[in-house]
Amino acid sequence: MSFVWKRLLGTVPSLAGVIVVTFLLSHALPGDPAAYFAGPAANAVSIAEVRAKLGLDQSLPLQFLHYLGDLARGDLGHSLTTGQPVVTDLLQRLPASMELTFFALVFAVAIAIPMGVWAATRPDSLVDHVCRATVSVAAAFPTFFVGLLLVYVFYFLLDLAPEPVGRLNEILYTVPPHVTGMYTLDSLIAGDWPVLAASLAQLVLPAISLGLFALAPIARITRAAMLQSLGSDFTRTARASGLKRGKILFTYAFRNALLPVSNVLGMVFSFLLGANVLIEQVYGWQGIGAYAVNAVLASDYAAVQGFVLMMAVLYVLLNLLVDLAGTLIDPRVRFEA
């Protein structure tokens, strides 16, 4: 537990810096939220009234002090675009983004780790070059371009994918009872198999579009870690002892390569969670990414600040989970920390 507390205390300066930088950057957004919400027919007097109501007529330091006071009470403010508390908006939309990111990571791991292991067992061969070229090409295209291309090919041309209308076609299916907010898990809990199949079908294209971008770092780290493990003394000793190739590869080499792979998985997951903004726009996925885009366009300070702060907290928690997983994979990490 002392290890966990030390890691949590070490994140306090980072979170404090995120709060300050987020506040300043959100107030540097182009546009005037008071003018936006006063409407196109508003005059200077009505705009000033809206600005005073929102507290935007106060000095920046005073606004920051009020913001800190609200944070201390767990209040992220009210969104000007939805009229709801920002915490409520984020908690309602976070499961959608987590679900998409999780399936994208599963897709990336299912392809990248076997590819990295395969390339490491045949270094500098045709297989190695093909694997490296494949992951490089997959990461070279922007996610929104891949998303649009997949929609065009599999929905418009081949008619193999469902209409990209978000998480579920609510005209044909009923949203499952809310338990976790993730449609696949909620429909599984409710035993609603048609909704489960429909929500999985809606996930395929956006998960592939997002997961392709994560192939390169996972495959490269897996290959490098496996090469190091296969060239180590314990692997040579196991080979000299006459152990089977599969046992050497997976019991000895791959197990020792898990630590760097698990570290990069945590970073990739947090990166994908923040990078799914464009994918959510392409597929109409109502997650926190789409929420953040709308907040930026409307200069909705509270929503932007809440989004960035939530992402920072999630990044810290994910890194903590990765560190804890590292202590389970290799107990020596606990003492080195």
For 193-226, the pLDDT digits (tens) are 999 999 999 999 999 999 888 888 898 899 988 8
Q: Which of 316, 302, 320 is nearest to 80 (CA)?
A: 302
Residue 137 scores a pLDDT above 80 = yes
Domain match, 195 and 121 both: yes
Q: Which of 145-159, 178-192, 233-247 has the lowest mean pLDDT?
A: 233-247
**140 burial via Cβ count (<10 Å: 0-12, 13-18, 19+):** exposed
Q: Is residue 264 one of the residues assigned to a domain?
A: yes
Check residue 242 and give left, alpha or beta (phi > 0: left; psi -120 to 50: alpha): left
Regarding predicted confidence, which is higher, 238 or 154? 154
Burial of 276 (C-beta count, 10 Å sphere; 0-12/13-18/19+): buried
Instruction: Measure the CA–CA gap between 24 and 37, rounded to whole angstroms.
Output: 21
In a domain, 301, yes or no: yes
Domain annotation covers residue 78? no
Whether 44 has a pLDDT exceeding 70, the answer reads yes
pLDDT at 106: 93
19 and 48 fall within a common domain: yes
Does 303 lie in the same domain as 194?
yes
pLDDT for position 164: 87
> What is the structure's pLDDT at 177?
92
The per-residue pLDDT for 326 is 67
pLDDT at 300: 78
**Residue 307 domain flag:** yes
| Paired strand residues for 30 | none
The answer as to whether 117 is a domain residue is yes
Residue 97: both structure tokens together? 């983004």
Same domain, 35 and 178: no
Considering only 56-60, 78-82, 326-330, which range has the smallest mean pLDDT? 326-330
pLDDT over 70, % of the chain? 90
Backbone angles phi, psi at 78, to 5 degrees: -110, 140
> Tokens 């953040």 map to which residue?
292
User: Using CA atoms in the order 40, 41, 45, 46, what is the torsion angle rounded to 10 degrees?
Assistant: -70
- What are the tokens at 170? 């609510």
Question: Mean pLDDT, to the nearest integer, of 181-201?
Answer: 93
Do residues 239 and 263 share a domain?
yes
- Residue 104 pLDDT: 92
Name the DSSP class of 312.
H
Q: Is residue 80 part of a domain?
A: no
CA distance 249 to 253: 5
Task: Please give the distance of CA 120 from its chain centroid, rounded to a whole number.
Answer: 28
Range of the domain at 33: 2-72
Q: Answer yes or no: is pLDDT of 301 > 80.
A: no
Strands (E), the chain: none
Whether residue 61 is found in the same domain as residue 103: no
Residue 77 in any domain: the answer is no
Same domain assignment for residues 66 and 135: no
pLDDT at res. 39: 66
Residues 44 and 148 in one domain: no
What residue type is 215 in one-letter code? L
Residue 79 covered by a domain: no
The answer on 217 and 93 residing in a single domain is yes
Distances in Å between the Cα of 293 and the Cα atoms of 3, 74, 92, 281 are 37, 23, 16, 9
Q: Assess whether pLDDT exceeds 80 at residue 93.
A: yes
Find, among 94, 38, 87, 91, the residue nearest to 299 by Cα.
38
Q: What is the DSSP letter of 165?
A: -
Question: Residue 55: what pLDDT?
Answer: 73
Q: How far apart are CA 313 and CA 1, in angstroms?
A: 19
Query: How confident is the model over 102-119, as a mean pLDDT?
Result: 91
Where a domain ends, among 45, 72, 99?
72
Mean pLDDT of 170-184: 90
When divided into structural domains, the chain yields a total of 2
Please write the tens of the pLDDT for every residue from 244-278. Answer: 888 888 877 888 888 788 888 878 887 888 778 88
- CATH number for the domain that contains residue 197: 1.10.3720.10
pLDDT 10s digits, 10-39:
777 877 887 888 777 777 766 666 776 666
Residues 166 and 106 in one domain: yes
Written as one letter, the residue type at 99 is E
- Say yes or no: 242 and 93 in one domain: yes
Considering the domain architecture, whether residues 265 and 138 belong to the same structural domain is answered as yes
Helix, strand, or coil here: 1?
A: coil
Q: What is the mean pLDDT of the chain?
A: 83
**Contact criterion met (CB below 8 Å) for 293 and 281:** yes
> Following DSSP, what letter does each residue of 38-91 receive, concatenated?
H-TT--HHHHHHHHHHHTTTS-HHHHHHHHHHHHHTT---B-TTT-SBHHHHHH
How far from the centroid of its chain's Cα atoms is residue 312's Cα?
11
Q: Are 196 and 187 in contact (CB under 8 A)?
A: yes
